[in-house]
Structure 1
Amino acid sequence: MYEDFDRCYRAVQSKDARFDGWFVTAVLTTGIYCRPSCPVRPPFARNVRFFPTSAAAQGAGFRACKRCRPDASPGSPEWNVRGDLVARAVRLIADGIVDRDGVRGLAAHLGYTTRQLQRLLHAETGAGPLALARAQRAQTARVLIETTVLPFGDIAYAAGFSSIRQFNDTLRLVYDSTPSELRRRATARSGHNITSTGTVSLRLPVRVPFAYEGVFGHLAASAVPGCEEVRDGAYRRTLRLPFGNGVVSLTPAPDHVRCTLALEDFRDLTSAISRCRRLLDLDADPDAVIDALGSDPELAPVIAKAPGQRIPRTVDEAELAVRTVLGQQVSIKAARTHAGRLVAAYGEPVPDADGGLTHTFPSVEQLGEIDPDHLAVPRARRRTVTALVAGLADGSVVLDSGCDWNAARSQLLAVPGIGPWTAEVIAMRGLGDPDAFPASDLGLRLAAKELGLPTEQRGLTARSRRWRPWRSYATQHLWTTLEHAVNHWPPKEAA
């Protein structure tokens, strides 16, 4: 989009927040880059350049606006709706893979050479993987500076910088500020001293409209005991992260989500934020979904009633896959019970002074030796769970934020006991494919019947083609028409 100068400039002139995250505006006369909705007077067109990412603007010598804070805008929805190499790479970089494994590790994970990866990323994002990771490091450092009392040396290490000097130089380049100045301004804005020591509290930005009841209601209804809970108006869960474990509390609002993270290792902050955004589908483009699905006369009333639905996703693709298999042909309550047994038996204990969380959901390695006593499901489904875990362990099934969606479907369908419904639900909720469509889903077909849509699987699939590439969102909208626990937030028993 950033290549369409006229369209971008109109968005800047109207201060349209819907375009925040799609591109950044660099002003030649000031050397500053802003989000499209920056409240300052729009610059003259002759003094403006548009870049696809903050990293690209930084690479061209521009620094972030201190007023609109462009690095705190929602991420570009483009990377979530595409399944090509660049989008897969951007999702993995957002999860912190470059800081953990380097550019070579990223390239190897994707099956490309570093030179190919550099060239393709630069062509579309205006920056290479190191520059994208550096921009992310700067944002992580700013969050830690402004929300904790950690010493700056610890923050530099946690954010992924190799030295204090690199940390200081990057913050001066990106924010035109020292760490002390950033913390001082944050204290002045909040009106009191920052006292958080073991937690980070921040706002997760979101594009509006944001119909959070659907996504939060679904997560609450399917919450696994010990691993997830609803408490004091927040959805809470444990996190298994690259360097340690954590607990997150997520509280929805119409235009943001309040996120409180307690982490064992602050090096996991980038990954934790990325996974929470993914869990709630916060980088979605609701306007594109509304425009596409709202043009269907049968769907239009449903879209108009609750625009801005998000897909209830996951913080761990393998976890979602195992839980989906456990939920085959049983109620949500039964699926919670089955998953809860695995959490209690194989998950790592996690301290939670503020709630009732006890364990993480077990990793693939921890599930490798499942005792049949902890899988009180039919024998065929037990074999499916065992085969899925084995496939995830040996790499014959690859499920992560950077995997190829179609390849993952094929790998899943090769697992005995996994059919199209399971594969499509995993593609939709685990992998984030916006066009997944579990046509045989009972709830989907019941909702279709109420709206006068075809209920037979083949007919519904044919009808759904006009909803492409947003069939996952059509599914979520159809689910919201049902009288079901997944559509209640806060949950009725907790209301």
Structure 2
Amino acid sequence: MDDDLDRCARAVRARDPRFDGWFVTGVRSTGIYCRPSCPAVPPHPDRMCFFPTAAAAQQAGFRACKRCRPDATPGSPAWDHRADVVGRAMRLIADGVVDRDGVGGLAARLGFSVRQVQRHLRAEVGAGPLALARAQRAQTARVLVETTDLPLTEVAFAAGFGSVRAFNDVVRAVFASSPGELRRRAHAGSTSSAPGALALRLPFRAPLHPDNLFGHLAATAVPGVEEWRDGAYRRTLRLPGGPGVVALRPAGDHVACALHLTELRDLTAAIARCRRLLDLDADPQAVDEVLATDPALAPLVRAAPGRRVPRSVDAEELAVRAVLGQQVSTAAAATHAARLAVAVGEPVHDPAGGLTRLFPTPAALREVADEDLRLPASRRAALRGLVTAVAEGRVELGPGADRAAARTALLALPGIGPWTVETVAMRGLGDPDAFLPGDLGVRVAAERLGLPASPGGLTRHAAAWRPWRAYAVQYLWATGDHPVNRLPAA
């Protein structure tokens, strides 16, 4: 949260949506917390208090505003781009680690003691891991209550609650309504789906330029694992409770998300991974404000503000695909990846047809025969070294990975150079400052714009773009005529 309380108060008085997700506002006189852009008349500053997360507000005894629904805002960009223990912890909690493995499991993934993790989180976000996970369960429960016709007992356990009583108590405390009242207000019967099928709206901070985001995902799609169909990007998901299938479609002020899950308990993790894939928690105005100070980038930013970094639902998958993509076209890389998916990928059922496989895990890829790889010897050795290191835990690439440690571990592997490492950092680990000065497309664009074309010269020039160099790469790539830069035909 911004420590400048006056600035927070000004954002509330201006109802500024740019700050939604950065903090929530507690109103002492009503006991309600709101997003900064709440349309209600702003309270007097003396009645305001500010919290960095909804969990912190809930822990202080505030309940969510029924009008602005602060629990449905984009996440804070801070947790997305911060590389410290708090940022790593928040990404793991969003992925459902506390619900699956407890606070001890979270601490083990971070390499800290439980006490250290709790102290760091309370100091930075005003709530411990259990309170943060509780707030997340409450929001998952609300989504299930409002978008399905599942019996409320099933909703309670699908959202991760240990009992129906705990489910009822938390929903009443957070939303000042019973689960039944939430369902009646939402008219769930008119929009309900079959069990396992969910239709959701994923919010983001405007603007969002979808062309390079969805264009990149569609152009690099691995047949059987991903596809572009009827104006939507579709792919399979490897989730803790079993395979899932998602369809994501740009829809103006939100991204429409249709999910088919084996296990509804995976909803929280599935949403977190889809948001990470599409970079939906970014703050595009903060990014573009920095990049537009460069005269070479300013026209690109003005022409298409809000570019996101197309990321991945699984950094281990992205790392494998980055190695497969070394010095070949996007089409060739997709062909190699599809061959591996057919060879050792787990079969899945796609209710709509078209998708047939999960992308194989590193452990499965260790068993691939040489004839199924069909790669040059050097790249085959690099791939085998990578999947072995990941499978043995010598390279950690999960949501809570230490980005600096991951870079070091990857660079130590044979056949893995700076281009591959920075590609993994940018698209797999979500580092907003990852940079590819040696990439051919980046160098061609730089030369066209009158920027230094050598990797060293461009790196020195790009120091002014920090900490958003990964977004500068998107603007540079977009100057080329390539399918990754445009939405495919519906």
| SS of the residue 1:465 aligns to | helix
How far apart are residue 2 of structure 1 and its match?
Answer: 3.9
Whether the aligned pair in 1 keeps the contact of 2:204 and 2:253 (CA below 8 Å) is yes
Deviations 1:84-137 (A, max 9, x none): 010000000000000011000100111111111101100010000000000000
2:127 corresponding residue in structure 1: 127
Q: Counterparts of 1:70-469 in structure 2 under 5 Å?
A: 70-187=70-187, 192=190, 194-469=192-467
Distance 1:294 1:193, change over 3 A: closer
| SS of the residue 2:444 aligns to | helix
1:25 corresponding residue in structure 2: 25
| SS of the residue 1:369 aligns to | coil
1:68 aligns with 2:68: yes
| SS of the residue 2:294 aligns to | coil
Deviations 1:255-278 (A, max 9, x none): 210001000001110000000000
How far apart are residue 155 of structure 1 and its match?
Answer: 1.2
1:42 aligns with 2:42: yes
Deviations 1:458-487 (A, max 9, x none): 111111111111110000110111100101
C-alpha separation between the residues in 2 aligned to 1:34 and 1:395? 42
Amino acid at match of 1:227: V
How far apart are residue 365 of structure 1 and its match?
Answer: 2.1
Deviations 1:51-103 (A, max 9, x none): 00000000000000111110000000011121001000000000000001100
How far apart are residue 197 of structure 1 and its match?
Answer: 2.7
Amino acid at match of 2:21: G
1:14 corresponding residue in structure 2: 14
Distance 1:193 1:443, change over 3 A: closer
Q: Percent identity?
A: 63
How far apart are residue 193 of structure 1 and its match?
Answer: 5.6
Whether the aligned pair in 1 keeps the contact of 2:88 and 2:399 (CA below 8 Å) is yes
Whether the aligned pair in 2 keeps the contact of 1:212 and 1:254 (CA below 8 Å) is no
How far apart are residue 198 of structure 1 and its match?
Answer: 2.7
Whether the aligned pair in 1 keeps the contact of 2:149 and 2:189 (CA below 8 Å) is no
| SS of the residue 1:259 aligns to | strand
Whether the aligned pair in 2 keeps the contact of 1:220 and 1:230 (CA below 8 Å) is yes
Whether the aligned pair in 2 keeps the contact of 1:208 and 1:254 (CA below 8 Å) is no
| SS of the residue 2:451 aligns to | coil
Amino acid at match of 2:478: T
Distance 1:321 1:195, change over 3 A: closer
Whether the aligned pair in 2 keeps the contact of 1:203 and 1:259 (CA below 8 Å) is yes
C-alpha separation between the residues in 1 aligned to 2:189 and 2:65? 22
C-alpha separation between the residues in 2 aligned to 1:254 and 1:212? 10
| SS of the residue 1:49 aligns to | strand
Whether the aligned pair in 1 keeps the contact of 2:147 and 2:191 (CA below 8 Å) is no
Amino acid at match of 2:458: L
Whether the aligned pair in 1 keeps the contact of 2:238 and 2:244 (CA below 8 Å) is yes
1:54 corresponding residue in structure 2: 54
C-alpha separation between the residues in 1 aligned to 2:195 and 2:104? 35
Q: TM-score, normalised by structure 1?
A: 0.98
Whether the aligned pair in 1 keeps the contact of 2:287 and 2:468 (CA below 8 Å) is yes
Whether the aligned pair in 1 keeps the contact of 2:148 and 2:189 (CA below 8 Å) is no
Whether the aligned pair in 2 keeps the contact of 1:2 and 1:51 (CA below 8 Å) is no
C-alpha separation between the residues in 2 aligned to 1:77 and 1:193? 31
Whether the aligned pair in 2 keeps the contact of 1:24 and 1:36 (CA below 8 Å) is yes
How far apart are residue 213 of structure 1 and its match?
Answer: 1.0
- RMSD of Structure 2 on Structure 1 (CA): 1.1
Between 1:342-351 and 1:90-99, the stretch displaced more is: 342-351
How far apart are residue 379 of structure 1 and its match?
Answer: 0.8
C-alpha separation between the residues in 2 aligned to 1:371 and 1:149? 47
Matched pairs, number = 490
C-alpha separation between the residues in 1 aligned to 2:276 and 2:191? 31
Gaps of 5+ in 2: none
Whether the aligned pair in 2 keeps the contact of 1:231 and 1:355 (CA below 8 Å) is no
C-alpha separation between the residues in 1 aligned to 2:44 and 2:455? 55
Write out the 4+ residue segments of structure 1 that deviate beyond 2 Å after TM superposition. 190-198
2:484 corresponding residue in structure 1: 486
Whether the aligned pair in 2 keeps the contact of 1:428 and 1:434 (CA below 8 Å) is yes
C-alpha separation between the residues in 1 aligned to 2:354 and 2:275? 23
Amino acid at match of 1:365: A
Amino acid at match of 1:453: L
How far apart are residue 195 of structure 1 and its match?
Answer: 4.1
Distance 1:191 1:14, change over 3 A: farther
Between 1:395-404 and 1:269-278, the stretch displaced more is: 395-404
C-alpha separation between the residues in 2 aligned to 1:138 and 1:434? 30
Distance 1:3 1:466, change over 3 A: closer
C-alpha separation between the residues in 2 aligned to 1:147 and 1:441? 44
C-alpha separation between the residues in 1 aligned to 2:257 and 2:432? 25
Whether the aligned pair in 1 keeps the contact of 2:196 and 2:264 (CA below 8 Å) is no
C-alpha separation between the residues in 1 aligned to 2:323 and 2:114? 36
Whether the aligned pair in 2 keeps the contact of 1:2 and 1:50 (CA below 8 Å) is no
Q: TM-score, normalised by structure 2?
A: 0.99
Gaps of 5+ in 1: none
C-alpha separation between the residues in 1 aligned to 2:28 and 2:353? 50
C-alpha separation between the residues in 1 aligned to 2:43 and 2:363? 55
| SS of the residue 1:268 aligns to | helix
How far apart are residue 370 of structure 1 and its match?
Answer: 1.2
C-alpha separation between the residues in 1 aligned to 2:370 and 2:97? 35
| SS of the residue 1:365 aligns to | helix
Deviations 1:382-420 (A, max 9, x none): 111111000001111110111111111000001100000
C-alpha separation between the residues in 2 aligned to 1:222 and 1:446? 21
